[in-house]
């Protein structure tokens, strides 16, 4: 597996990371613990050195799973986790990035992850009630104490990124990005390039849609949050299928799968991008990692962009309450 550096930092990780959320949260019932451990450990064996989790995934269960799975390999891998939500009675009940809360969460995450240092600590969502300078200052303290190595932001807008970066250099921004969601290209990516900040696209496969395995007739399980995502309504899936068709036809030309083309496309955008697809299945993990071996030429990329630009995408990527938590 090739390695990449996140921006100008010295955080070097595998070109494709692993998003662990879906093992415990978000896409239906959590997987059996032993299955989750097996998937994560197989990823390590295949060269993945970057694992993404958060306290709110579960809550707490995903960090515990990652901590146990990674324990034998801890020195070989980088773990990213996140703070920023208020959690009560096992449910996320709003935002909380007060400095004292950040420090409490970091201590609890260290225990759950069974480690003495967090490689990358993200603010999960921007908290409008806490100045970002205070947030960056709290993480700076944790870095000086040796409990955290790098500071990250998630779904933050340009002004927040700039203000945070002045207090404590931001190593990486994590936001959604794929052929299905290209909004970061307008302002976010040029800002990251200017400041030397890495980019970690989550949902690089469009929450599974770009794999071609989801149709307008697909029924999601009751705990799957795609049930409430406007972009995944049956009529929008039907309309958006045209983009999957573009990816699929290109995959045939390249003797690859649609998922591999979607990941190769992200990797080809910038050398400081590290996508973090997730899966619960080892054969899908193997397929995703194969995306790092697909070479897309400048001409390939032009053809994909030209075909994709003719597809008018339908539906918001989040329901309204989740949309409000995104800082742009």
pLDDT digits (tens, 9 = 90+) for 217-268: 999 999 999 999 999 999 999 999 999 999 999 999 999 999 999 999 999 9
122 is catalytic: no
Is residue 207 helix, strand or coil?
coil
User: What confidence score (pLDDT) does residue 287 get?
Assistant: 98
User: What is the model's pTM?
Assistant: 0.98
Look at residue 40 and tell me if it is in a domain: yes
User: What confidence score (pLDDT) does residue 328 get?
Assistant: 86
Look at residue 94 and tell me if it is in a domain: yes
User: What confidence score (pLDDT) does residue 167 get?
Assistant: 98
Percent of the chain with pLDDT over 90: 99
Q: How confident is the model at residue 162 (pLDDT cuts 50, 70, 90)?
A: very high
User: What confidence score (pLDDT) does residue 311 get?
Assistant: 96
Q: What is the mean pLDDT of residues 159-185?
A: 98
Q: With 90 as the cut, is the pLDDT of residue 2 above it?
A: yes
User: What confidence score (pLDDT) does residue 6 get?
Assistant: 98
Rounded to whole angstroms, the Cα distance separating 138 from 112 reads 20
Look at residue 101 and tell me if it is in a domain: yes
Average per-residue pLDDT for the chain: 97
Contact (CB, 8 A) for 18 and 281: no
Q: Give the N- to C-terminal CA distance of the chain in Å, as an integer.
A: 34
Q: With 90 as the cut, is the pLDDT of residue 121 above it?
A: yes
Task: Read off the pLDDT of residues 35-94 as tens digits, 9 standing for 90 and up.
Answer: 999 999 999 999 999 999 999 999 999 999 999 999 999 999 999 999 999 999 999 999
Instruction: Report the number of distinct structural domains present in the chain.
Output: 1
Rounded to whole angstroms, the Cα distance separating 64 from 81 reads 12
Q: What single-letter DSSP state applies at residue 170?
A: E
Look at residue 171 and tell me if it is in a domain: yes
Q: With 90 as the cut, is the pLDDT of residue 108 above it?
A: yes
Look at residue 23 and tell me if it is in a domain: yes
Backbone angles phi, psi at 291, to 5 degrees: -60, -25
Count other C-beta atoms under 10 Å from residue 20's C-beta. Answer: 28
What CATH number did the domain enclosing 114 receive? 3.20.20.100
Q: How confident is the model at residue 307 (pLDDT cuts 50, 70, 90)?
A: very high
Q: What is the 3-state secondary structure (H, E, C) of 219-233?
A: CCCCCEHHHHCHHHC
Count other C-beta atoms under 10 Å from residue 10's C-beta. Answer: 10
- Residue 83, exposed/middle/buried by CB under 10 A (0-12, 13-18, 19+)? buried
CA–CA distance from 159 to each of 176, 193, 264 (Å)?
18, 15, 30
Look at residue 302 and tell me if it is in a domain: no
Question: Domain containing 148: what range?
Answer: 3-209+270-295
Token pair, residue 227, equals 């049930």
Look at residue 258 and tell me if it is in a domain: no
- Residue 282, exposed/middle/buried by CB under 10 A (0-12, 13-18, 19+)? middle
Q: What is the mean pLDDT of residues 14-25?
A: 98
Taking every pair of Cα atoms in the chain, the longest distance, rounded to a whole number of angstroms, is 54
Token pair, residue 68, equals 């146990």
Look at residue 85 and tell me if it is in a domain: yes
Q: With 90 as the cut, is the pLDDT of residue 305 above it?
A: yes
Q: Of the residues 57, 122, 177, 318, which is catalytic?
A: 57
Is residue 20 helix, strand or coil?
coil
């Amino acid at each position: 597996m090739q390695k990449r550096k996140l921006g100008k930092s010295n955080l070097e990780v595998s070109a494709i990371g692993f998003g662990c959320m879906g093992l415990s949260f978000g896409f239906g019932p959590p997987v059996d613990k032993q299955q989750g451990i097996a998937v994560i450990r197989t990823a390590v064996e295949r060269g993945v050195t970057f694992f993404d989790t958060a306290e709110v995934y579960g809550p707490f269960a995903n960090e515990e799973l990652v901590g146990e799975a990674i324990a034998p390999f801890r020195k070989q891998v980088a773990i990213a986790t996140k703070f920023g939500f208020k959690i009560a009675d096992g449910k996320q009940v709003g935002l909380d990035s007060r400095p004292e809360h950040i420090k409490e969460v970091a201590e609890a995450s260290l225990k759950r992850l069974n480690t003495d240092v967090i490689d990358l600590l993200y603010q999960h969502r921007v908290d409008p009630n806490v100045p970002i300078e205070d947030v960056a200052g709290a993480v700076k303290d944790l870095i000086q104490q040796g409990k955290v190595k790098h500071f990250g932001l998630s779904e933050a807008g340009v002004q927040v990124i700039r203000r945070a970066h002045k207090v404590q250099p931001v190593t990486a921004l994590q936001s959604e990005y794929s052929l299905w969601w290209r909004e970061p290209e307008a302002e976010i990516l040029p800002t990251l390039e200017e400041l030397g900040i890495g980019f970690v696209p989550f949902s690089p496969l469009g929450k599974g849609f770009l794999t071609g395995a989801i149709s307008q007739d697909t029924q999601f399980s009751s705990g799957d949050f795609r049930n409430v995502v406007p972009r995944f309504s049956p009529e929008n899936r039907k309309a958006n299928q045209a983009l999957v068709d573009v990816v699929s036809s290109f995959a045939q030309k390249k003797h690859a799968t649609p998922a591999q083309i979607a990941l190769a496309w992200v990797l080809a955008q910038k050398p400081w991008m590290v996508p973090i697809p997730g899966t619960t299945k080892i054969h899908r993990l193997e397929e995703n990692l194969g995306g790092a071996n697909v070479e897309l030429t400048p001409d390939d990329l032009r053809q994909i962009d030209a075909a994709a630009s003719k597809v008018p995408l339908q539906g918001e990527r989040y329901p309204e309450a989740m949309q409000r938590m995104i800082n742009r």
